[in-house]
Amino acid sequence: MKSLKFLFLIAAVVAASFARAAEPVANTAVSDAATRGKYLVSTAGCHDCHTPWHMTDQGPRPDMSRALSGHPENFEMPPAPAPTGPWVTSVGATNTAYAGGWGVSFTANLTPDRETGLGKWTARTFIDTIRTGRHLGRGREVLPPMPIAVYQNFTDEDLTAIFAYLQTIPAVKNKVPSPRPPAAAATAQR
């Protein structure tokens, strides 16, 4: 019964995520980079994965008190269920943890917290990350479900605007866990 509730929550979060993505966003004139960045963040689905979701009276909603702060550090995830049949991906209840053939990924803290977020990043590192699909432009690959190939269609100006906006939102101290290798690889390393 408990697992049924959990599955329902996941389904509801995913469904609500798509529903919100379809909501119209005010086409305000953009006067500066951060305003333009806010528009792009709200239309490109960043909150769907980088803001933890929680259950409300209206159903699952992004918890905007922790906007864009990534997978909550205190929400420890047990080992992911083994993929069976055609179902190969699992999603955590907050929509911030994903398991699949690549291992387990946790969405990043995009807030300007200097220790756990993007507070020390520059626009250049942000752009390099998207352009190369590698962490900080030269580290490990950015993992699914981050739609890197889609976001590579942003211009440098768009990415600069997004970064400018992300630097204006409230900083949230939240140390996102490091990704986990696929179960088979993790077993082999031990």
Binding site for another protein (CB under 8 A): 102-103, 120-122, 124-125, 128, 131-132, 134, 136-141, 143, 177-181, 185-186, 189-190
- Comparing CB distances to another protein, the nearer of 83 and 182 is 182
- Taken as a whole, the chain contains a residue count of 190
Q: Which two tokens stand for residue 96?
A: 């911030």
Taking the least distance from each CB to another protein, the nearer of 147 and 181 is 181
Of 5 and 138, nearer to another protein (C-beta) is 138
CB of 12 vs another protein, minimal distance in Å: 29
CA atoms within 13 A on the CB side of 130: 19
Q: Is the dihedral of CA 122, 124, 126, 128 positive or negative?
A: negative
Smallest gap from residue 66 Cβ to another protein (A):
20
- Report the nearest approach of another protein to the CB of residue 85 (Å): 25
User: Closest approach of Cβ 104 to another protein, in Å?
Assistant: 8
**Is the Cβ of residue 120 or residue 173 nearer to another protein in the bound state?**
120
Least Cβ distance, residue 133 to another protein (angstroms)? 9
Between 30 and 75, name the residue whose CB sits nearer to another protein.
75
- In the β-sheet with 97-100, what is the strand arrangement from edge to edge? 90-91, 97-100, 103-106
Measuring CA to CA, which residue among 75, 26, 1, 32 is closest to residue 164? 32
CB 108 within 8 Å of CB 175: no
Sequence-distant (6+) residues with CB within 8 A of 68 are: 41, 46, 47, 50, 51, 109, 110, 111, 166, 169, 172
